Amino acid sequence: MPGGIVAALSDVHVSFGARAALKGLNLSLGQGEIFALLGRNGSGKTTLMRALTGQIRVTSGEVRVFAKDPGREAQPRRLMSLVPQDIALYPRLTVRENLEVMGGMAGLSRHEIPQRVEQAMAVTRVENRQHDLIEHLSGGYKRRANIAAALLTQPKLLLLDEPTVGVDVEARLALHQTLRDLREGGTSILLTTHDLDEARALSDRVGILASGRLAETGPIGEILRRMFGDSREIVVGLSREPTEPMEAILKELGLAPTANPLAWNSWSAEVGSLGRLETALEQHGIDIHEIRLREPGLEQVLTRIEGDQG
Amino acid sequence: MIFPSARVMLLSLLRDRGALAMAFVLPPLIFLIFAAIFTGSSGDQLRLHIGVADLARTPATSRLVQVLLQEPTLRVTFNDAAGADDVRSLVKNGSVDLGIILRGDLNGREAGAPVLLVTHEARAIAGAIMAGHLQRLLSVHMPDVAFAQVLADLEAIGGITSEQRAWIDQVFREKATDAQTDPRPRSVGLIATESALPATAGWAVSYYAGAVAVMFLLLAGIQGAISLIEERRLGVYDRLLAGPRPIAGIIAGKFLFLVVQGTLQAVLVFTAASIFYGVNFIASFGLWLITTLVVAAATSGLALSLCAICSSRQQAQVLSTFVVLIISAAGGSMVPRFFMPPWLQALGWWTPNAWSIQAYSSALTPGSSVSSLVTAWGILMAMAAGALLFTLCVSLRRRSI
């Protein structure tokens, strides 16, 4: 883990009434590290973020940010910023106006604000749109401005809740570059995402949240190897829904049904397995429209974790 | 944190033409309409529209018709050939406020009361007003008829002799002739009226200026306070709450902006009142300004507290419309409080509207002192402080939800 520990959660439990949102969660984040939290909706990602910002009190366990409890002390909150999932900016104000008022609301002095605004706009590359109203910006620029607002206080820890939702590939790559630049500057970043590719491209480590527990942590490559070895998913696309005899044949060939009745899959590490399976399907007269290999994605990871959890 | 929050509201308002019109054009406009309505119905410009049918066609009834036609405070529809049913139809279809049917000689009572007032339930007050008018017109312009009633009663109890009666009849015949040529009152009546306030100062209108101002301060305050909900929805609060600054600063900023906005609205309403109705609020500007500030504080606090408990813009609009209409009606912003039954007047003291109207009324009265306003100011400030505290508690509670 690069540098010292910036944030740490130890055996954290959070409950809302009878519903347990986090169940004994342990996590630490190092200085200058990008950590991606992956998980389904409702898995506890946002609750974890809120526990880190002190917005919710944990039921039991310990939360430390810069060695202090953010729920009780303001000092750790001065060193971190949150980028909410929504564009948390005023739509009828320009980018610059938004950054100026956000700076004021964050407690910056009138003398500090102009310089910080310029810096934040430069890092996020929004200077050329600084006089545009937020409501007139594209999704990518809105996201950049959303991040710029969080950078005004020059945080040491940046929390981003799904920062690239709804933006195109080009804007996403630009945002990734911005986050990498911030990491180079020593900022620690905790982000939530549904996108395994994004986590792979950006993060030093990932944590996979399932049912309020951190089921896996570590570099994404290691996790995938640990879970799937060298296996890849073979996906068979059928031309029509299989009859009962056809289903029996598909199962005999090692395929399993998926949520899509026209798609069946299996896992294999053998390079030649794809060709053999295609030949076998033809011999049994099963009409397919595609057969392909797929790298494991978040859905496969979560499905396997949930299967392991029973 | 206070000023950035207020700046956001200012910029958002300036870029929303609808909200600008709602805040600064509508209040004086609505005030002018209200003032026109109420000065017409409760001030000295009241002109009842009456329909008259003279069925008796006696000299006395003909004189009464002439008196009615010449009376400047009445608008009279009279057709010599009109019958009782014609007048009833005019009242029924709303062409006139009430009807007068002269069905017998004014000095005779054999067939019942000679003057029949035909009223409509929706305008029942017009009957009472017209009865008073008739008494006045008879005593001023037809004293012979008015006095004949007294004489008839005296005769019935044997109070005058036949010679005295003959002399009185002669005198009144002469007086009646004089009255037709010169209708001015000839004697000082039992009752005279005077206004406690100097004439032509627009005092009646000042009530509506205050009443309309407080209602629109509430409405515009809620439009502004809805930004609380918008900011929550946008995630701005999540961003701010993750930082070290307390949420009280945001609420204080919104409160400050709403108080300034409300003061400007009140300036516009009272300026319109000054230009069109002569309401001189500049003469007691100090008291007026303090009153305006406390009224704006109370309405802003209430608006913020209403929006704090709502989770969506739609919910806030429904709840605030409901609350503003109820408290404005009960508090006297729509109908003067003296028209209300006592229980409703008592209920009105629980609204900021009633205290605001009371405070404006006292502030604009010449010679009024601070002591006459202290109670109203104190209650309005207490309302503002209570509402702000409530808003803060709800917002802090939401932080932990």
Whether residues A90 and A186 fall in one domain: yes
At A139, which amino acid appears?
A: G
Closest-approach residue (CA) in chain B for A79: B243
Task: Give chain B positions within 8 Å (CB) of A103.
Answer: 4
Whether residues A64 and A212 fall in one domain: yes
Cβ within 8 Å, pair A107-B1: yes
| Average pLDDT of the residues in B210-238 | 86
Task: Give chain A positions within 8 Å (CB) of B234.
Answer: 86-91
Is residue A73 less than 8 Å (CB to CB) from chain B?
no
pLDDT at A117: 95
Whether residues A185 and A272 fall in one domain: no
- How many other C-beta atoms can be found within 10 angstroms of the C-beta atom of residue A77? 26
Whether residues B25 and B157 fall in one domain: no
Task: Pick B244's closest partner by Cβ from A74, A82, A101.
Answer: A74
Is residue A87 less than 8 Å (CB to CB) from chain B?
yes
pLDDT band at B260 (very low <50, low <70, confident <90, very high): very high
Task: Pick A105's closest partner by Cβ from B16, B238, B250.
Answer: B250
Digit-coded pLDDT (tens) for B136-175: 888 888 877 777 777 777 777 776 777 777 787 777 777 6
Whether residues B238 and B374 fall in one domain: yes
Taking the alpha carbons of A92, A93, A99, A105 in that order, is the dihedral positive or negative?
Answer: negative
pLDDT at B40: 60
Size of interface A-B (CB pairs under 8 A): 88
The alpha-carbon gap from A197 to the nearest alpha carbon of chain B, in Å, equals: 26
Whether residues B232 and B311 fall in one domain: yes
Q: Which residue among B152, B181, B210 closes a domain? A: B181
In a domain, B59, yes or no: yes
Q: Digits of tens for pLDDT over chain A (310 positions)?
A: 555 889 999 999 999 888 888 999 999 999 999 999 998 888 888 889 989 988 888 999 999 999 999 888 888 888 999 998 889 999 999 999 999 999 998 888 889 999 999 999 988 889 999 999 999 998 889 999 999 999 998 899 999 988 888 777 877 888 888 889 889 988 999 999 888 888 888 899 999 998 888 888 999 888 888 888 878 888 899 988 888 888 999 998 888 888 888 899 888 877 678 888 888 888 888 888 888 888 777 777 888 787 776 6
Whether residues A128 and A250 fall in one domain: no
Q: Name the pairing type of β-strands A19-30 and A213-218.
A: unpaired
In a domain, B375, yes or no: yes
Enumerate residues 15 to 54 of chain B having a beta carbon within 8 A of any beta carbon in chain A: 15-16
| Average pLDDT of the residues in B185-214 | 65
Q: Give the residue, A168 or B290, on which the prediction is more confident.
A: B290
Task: Pick A55's closest partner by Cβ from B7, B16, B241.
Answer: B241
At A82, which amino acid appears?
A: L
Enumerate residues 172 to 191 of chain B having a beta carbon within 8 A of any beta carbon in chain A: none
The alpha-carbon gap from B18 to the nearest alpha carbon of chain A, in Å, equals: 14
Q: Which among A188, A94, A104 has a CA at the least distance from the CA of A153?
A: A104
Cβ within 8 Å, pair A149-B239: yes
Domain that holds residue B279: 2-40+202-399
Cβ within 8 Å, pair A101-B400: no
Task: Give chain A positions within 8 Å (CB) of B251.
Answer: none
The encoded tokens of residue A28 equal: 């630490």
Whether residues A245 and A190 fall in one domain: no
pLDDT at B181: 52
Whether residues A154 and A279 fall in one domain: no
- C-beta of residue A301 within 8 angstroms of C-beta of residue A224: yes
In a domain, B305, yes or no: yes
Residues ≥6 apart with Cβ < 8 Å to B64: B102, B106, B115, B137, B138, B142, B145
Whether residues B242 and B357 fall in one domain: yes
Residue B191 pLDDT more than 60?
A: no
Is residue A135 less than 8 Å (CB to CB) from chain B?
no
The alpha-carbon gap from B14 to the nearest alpha carbon of chain A, in Å, equals: 10
The alpha-carbon gap from A87 to the nearest alpha carbon of chain B, in Å, equals: 6
Cβ within 8 Å, pair A100-B235: no
Q: Give the residue, A51 or B245, on which the prediction is more confident.
A: A51
pLDDT at B46: 64
Closest-approach residue (CA) in chain B for A105: B1
Cβ within 8 Å, pair A87-B244: no
- C-beta of residue B71 within 8 angstroms of C-beta of residue B46: no
The alpha-carbon gap from A52 to the nearest alpha carbon of chain B, in Å, equals: 9
Q: Which residue among A209, A226, A243 closes a domain? A: A226
Whether residues A170 and A124 fall in one domain: yes
- C-beta of residue B266 within 8 angstroms of C-beta of residue B213: yes
Helix (H, G, I), strand (E, B) or coil at A194: coil
pLDDT at B169: 74
In a domain, B194, yes or no: no
Domain that holds residue A294: 230-309
Whether residues A219 and A262 fall in one domain: no
- Torsion, Cα of B352, B335, B137, B67 (10° steps): 140
Enumerate residues 162 to 221 of chain A having a beta carbon within 8 A of any beta carbon in chain B: none
In a domain, B188, yes or no: no
Digit-coded pLDDT (tens) for B43-54: 455 678 899 999
CATH at A32: 3.40.50.300
In a domain, B186, yes or no: no
Digit-coded pLDDT (tens) for B298-352: 999 999 999 989 888 889 889 988 999 999 999 988 887 877 888 998 999 999 9
Whether residues A65 and A112 fall in one domain: yes
pLDDT at B203: 61
Q: Which residue among B181, B211, B239 closes a domain? A: B181
Cβ within 8 Å, pair A53-B11: no
Q: Kindly report the average pLDDT of chain B as a whole number.
A: 83
For A202-233, b/e burial (b = at least 16 CB within 10 A) is bbbbbbbbbbbbbbbbeebeebbeebbeebbb
The alpha-carbon gap from B240 to the nearest alpha carbon of chain A, in Å, equals: 7
pLDDT at B183: 47
Q: Which residue among A171, A198, A226 closes a domain? A: A226
| Average pLDDT of the residues in B178-189 | 51
Whether residues B342 and B269 fall in one domain: yes
Q: Give the residue, B121 or B13, on which the prediction is more confident.
A: B13
Q: Which residue among A192, A226, A260 closes a domain? A: A226
Whether residues B256 and B171 fall in one domain: no
Residue B363 pLDDT more than 50?
A: yes
Whether residues B158 and B231 fall in one domain: no
Task: Give chain B positions within 8 Å (CB) of A80.
Answer: 242
| Average pLDDT of the residues in B219-246 | 83
In a domain, B104, yes or no: yes
Whether residues A58 and A10 fall in one domain: yes
Cβ within 8 Å, pair A105-B240: yes
Closest-approach residue (CA) in chain A for B396: A55
Residue B399 pLDDT more than 80?
A: no
Backbone torsions φ then ψ of B269, nearest 5 degrees = -65, -45
Q: What domain count does chain B have?
A: 2
Whether residues B172 and B221 fall in one domain: no
Is residue A72 less than 8 Å (CB to CB) from chain B?
no
Task: Give chain B positions within 8 Å (CB) of A88.
Answer: 234-236, 238-239
In a domain, B298, yes or no: yes
Whether residues B98 and B19 fall in one domain: no
Contacts by B362-366, CB closer than 8 A, 24 or more apart: B362/B287, B363/B284, B363/B287, B363/B288, B363/B290, B363/B291, B364/B203, B364/B206, B364/B279, B364/B280, B364/B281, B364/B284, B364/B287, B364/B288, B365/B197, B365/B284, B366/B197, B366/B198, B366/B283, B366/B284
Cβ within 8 Å, pair B242-A93: no
Q: What domain count does chain A have?
A: 2
The alpha-carbon gap from B237 to the nearest alpha carbon of chain A, in Å, equals: 8
Whether residues A290 and A148 fall in one domain: no
CATH at A292: 3.30.70.980
Is residue A15 less than 8 Å (CB to CB) from chain B?
no
Is residue A254 less than 8 Å (CB to CB) from chain B?
no
Cβ within 8 Å, pair A84-B240: no
pLDDT at B167: 81
CATH at B60: 3.40.190
Closest-approach residue (CA) in chain A for B243: A77
Please name every residue paired with A80 in a beta bridge, in sequence order, or none if there are none. A157
Whether residues A144 and A207 fall in one domain: yes
